[in-house]
Amino acid sequence: MAHQHRIPAVFMRGGTSKALMLKRADLPADQQQWPAIFLAALGSPDPYARQLDGMGGGQSSLSKVCIIGPSSIEGADVDYTFAQISVTGTEVDYSGNCGNMSSAVGPFAYDEKMVAGPRNGECVVRIHNTNSGKIIVSRFLVEEGEACVHGDTRITGLASAGAPVTLSFEDPANTRGVGVLPAEAAQVDLPTLTGASVPATLVDSAIPAVFVQAEAVGVSAAIMPDAVDAHHSLLAELEHLRQAASVRMGIAGSLEEAARIIAIPKLCMVGKAQTYTALNGQEIAARDVDVMVRMISAGQPHRAAPITVSLATATAAAIAGSVVQQCLGDGVDLRAIRLGSPSGVVQVGVDLVQQEGVPTPKILSASIVRTQRRLMEGAVCVPTL
């Protein structure tokens, strides 16, 4: 009897995340068997938060699995399912998409001959994200039958340049069928652990997300990830607010259930633009930022800005009376809003229609440019289960 089971796999970077890329056909038909495989492959649960016995990297942005298969709907080329794997726990969460890893899906499908495309030039892959039910259009260059990785495109949070991948999220809002504002208001009050309340904006665009102003929870919007990670009472408060928002948005029926759904909603602290020093030592001037963002992903402070939450931020910025809009200065271009993240400025574009007399805009599409690279290919080994 073999001691380990080998599953064909590719390990890829997409944007500022990394994930194990698996074909649907190489996994058991019974999806109930998937969580055990994914946990073993990434090295979870690990109480030391390092995932040394697997492919994970001890951070939420490095503890991910993407499953790609033939499209199940018309108008798309492939199905893409994203799984967020808990680092320290046993949760395998399919409730939300990963925007960064979405940039790796098209090139993976092309290189694996899962989709047709030109041998040279621009390839376009229409991706059906099964988590959100939305279509993502991926455009990238190919050369000699392989997706390009070399280029001059630089993205915040990544030291190297690469070939651009343009992602267009079509009709990204309302992923759960309860509207852009699931709480039906631009602001709601969420209860804190101390029994007080904090104003929040709950938005569903690209991914369900909850926004609170950093000052409302007692910190600066320029706080850096290591400081957040060391601030245990802050993390506990933010997780409590996230769980309360989950119940308010109809994602979970109780705080206990919300605690088990780690992928959504995402939580983002926001604040007015200010000058700060990014993780790479670069000084970011307040004039180059429209709104400060500090995002929490799967219980951990994100070192950059998850793409789906960035798109949700742009949507929230367009909603009259939202906590995000209250942080903006005059003359902000909502089609190219600049987010001040710990790693630097992230710009997202939202094509929207502001409907007269309606506070919530119609989001036609949201776009962003990422880079990607195939890092390893072969098989991932998991203990025989």
Q: Is residue 178 part of a domain?
A: no
Residue 307 and residue 252 in one domain: yes
Is the pLDDT reported for residue 81 higher than 80?
yes
Position 98 in a domain: yes
112 closest CA partner among 160, 77, 158: 77
- Tokens (6 digits) for 309: 């939450």
Q: Domain of 18: which CATH number?
A: 3.10.310.10
Identify whether residues 59 and 155 lie together within a single domain. yes
The helix/strand/coil state of 120 is: coil
334 and 375 share a domain? Answer: no
Nearest by Cα to 248 from 295, 293, 199: 199
Give the pLDDT mean for 83-93: 96
Question: Residue 247: which domain range?
Answer: 188-359
pLDDT tens, 169-228? 999 989 998 889 999 999 999 999 999 999 999 999 999 999 999 999 999 999 999 999
**Alpha carbons 69 and 77: distance in angstroms, whole number:** 9
Tell me, yes or no, whether 326 and 201 share the same domain.
yes
Residue 81: inside a domain: yes
**Model pLDDT for residues 121-172, shown as the tens digit of each residue:** 999 999 999 999 999 999 999 999 999 999 999 999 999 999 999 999 999 9
Tokens of 86: 């808990």
Asked, for residue 181, whether it belongs to a domain, the answer is no
219 and 125 fall within a common domain? no
Mean pLDDT of 101-116: 98
* pLDDT number for residue 361: 78
Task: Return mean pLDDT, the chain.
Answer: 95
Percent of the chain scoring above 90 in pLDDT:
87
Q: Are residues 115 and 217 in the same domain?
A: no
- Count CB atoms within 10 A of the CB of residue 152: 8
Q: Look at residue 352 in the predicted model and tell me its pLDDT.
A: 82
Residues 236 and 297 grouped into a single domain: yes
pLDDT (0 to 100) of residue 1: 53
| Count of structural domains, the chain | 2
Are residues 126 and 258 both part of a single domain? no
pTM metric for this prediction: 0.87
